[in-house]
Amino acid sequence: MGRYQSRGVSSKKEEIHQAIRHVDQGLFPNAFCKVVEDYLGNDPAYCNVMHADGAGTKASLAYLYYQETGDLSVFEGIAQDALVMNLDDLLCVGIVDHILLSSTIGRHAKLISGQVIQKIIEGNEKLIKQLAELGISLITTGGETADVGDLVRTLIVDSTVTARVPRGHIITNEKIQAGNIIMGLASFGKTSYESQYNSGIGSNGLTSARHDLLHSDYAQQFPESYDPAIPKNLVYSGPFHLSDPLEDTPLTIGQALLSPTRTYAPIIRELLNEHRSEISGIIHCSGGGQTKCLKFGKGIRYVKNNLFSVPPLFKTIQEVSNTDWSEMYEVFNMGHRMEIIGPPHLLPILEEIGKKYELEVRQIGYCEASSGENELQIISQSETFEYRV
């Protein structure tokens, strides 16, 4: 059992997939998000998508950071995490605008003040305004804030998004085939629409990241910030404090772990505007990290032989925790959090769009036919890893 699973978290979520195996998969079962008939407009040419996701345990990390620094603005980043985890999932089915957003916040009211809630709401509005300037339209429709101290130890921040689009606009992933290339969009660095360097962490793997990096002092000071069922040797077992610098970056450890999840909406919007029909698939490397692609396409062997160099944060997590590299690729995005799959001629087009936004794009691999179920081969600098469905 890996360190991630030992902390009560599953990157593969096998039991959840087993539970929903008989549930209707919608109009396009291979699409990244479930797509259903147009119940909102009753038009056979249209379809509806409703999707939910959130910031996960990153909210608990924000609580730690706030307690130590008094910096309320950290919760604006958590609002961005919850929104972008939904928005970038919608990108994978080709949706980039006219999106309705609802937010759900569960808090332990004795620990999470109204000021925190206000910052989360302000964070949503600030990001929506920024996205509008980039051509991405969302509108807030309300939501729910619940005081659930019996259930939530600190804070949980989730969002739900809804959109109505023509069926022909959906990226179904059904065209993923041998001969396609895999184009990766970097998760780290600083784009033209970000205010500071991004570590690339996104909103996945934070349970392991914070416990592997942060010092045991935090377990003593803030027992409410973690699950008491986690084995003691896996609770805040690292050498760092939040204010310590992260080597080879301009960030502290705390800032790196809390880097707001980057959206790829401006880049993908431009690609879709002219080349929607040429795209075979889009995959958000969220839960499951670099192995997420295994869930999409049929009879595909994904070969990732030209990955980005491992960003400093992930390298540091591996070094201090001695986590197997094979598990690192299953838990974290390891350098790119979005994959565009399609014919080779799309690469220079996507690279040019990336340059406009100061985002690094590269071909990180290719697709070939498998002998049966989907397969993945990751060729790193020192090792080769094989994964199957």
Residue positions counted in the chain: 389
Question: pLDDT-based confidence at 20, cuts 50/70/90?
Answer: low
pTM over 0.75: yes
Per mean pLDDT, which range of 81-85, 225-229, 251-255, 346-350 is the poorest?
Answer: 225-229
**How sure is the predictor about 295, in pLDDT bands with cuts at 50, 70 and 90?**
very high
Instruction: Using the CB atoms, write b or e for 184-201: b if 16+ within 10 Å.
Output: bbbbbbebebbeebbbbb
Average pLDDT over residues 176-188: 98
Q: Higher confidence at residue 5 or residue 385? A: 385
What pLDDT sits at residue 5? Answer: 64
The mean per-residue pLDDT over the stretch 143-148 comes to 93
Q: What angle do CA 298, 161, 49 make, to 5 degrees?
A: 45
Q: List helix spans (H) across the chain.
A: 3-6, 14-19, 58-69, 74-91, 114-133, 206-213, 217-221, 253-257, 265-275, 312-321, 325-331, 346-356
Q: What percent of the chain has pLDDT over 70?
A: 94
Cα–Cα dist 105/125, whole Å: 15
Distance between CA atoms of residues 223 and 232, nearest Å: 12
Which pLDDT score, from 0 to 100, does residue 16 have? 53
Confidence of residue 269 (pLDDT cuts 50, 70, 90): very high
- Burial of residue 24 (CB within 10 Å: 0-12, 13-18, 19+) is exposed
Report pLDDT digits (tens) over 56-77. Answer: 999 999 999 999 999 999 999 9
Pair 123, 80: CB distance under 8 Å? yes
Closest CA to 115 of 168, 155, 61, 164: 155
pLDDT at residue number 286: 93
What distance in Å separates the CA atoms of residue 157 and residue 20, rounded to the nearest whole number? Answer: 24
Alpha-carbon gap, residue 69 to 175, rounded angstroms: 49
Architecture of the domain delimited by 3-388: Alpha-Beta Complex (3.90)
CA-wise closest residue to 4 among 296, 384, 318: 318
Mean pLDDT of the region 352-378: 96
What is the sign of the dihedral through the CA atoms of 385, 301, 348 and 271? negative
Distance CA 82, CA 226 (A): 20
CB–CB of 31/72 below 8 Å?
A: no
The whole-chain average pLDDT of the chain stands at 94
Res 59: pLDDT: 96
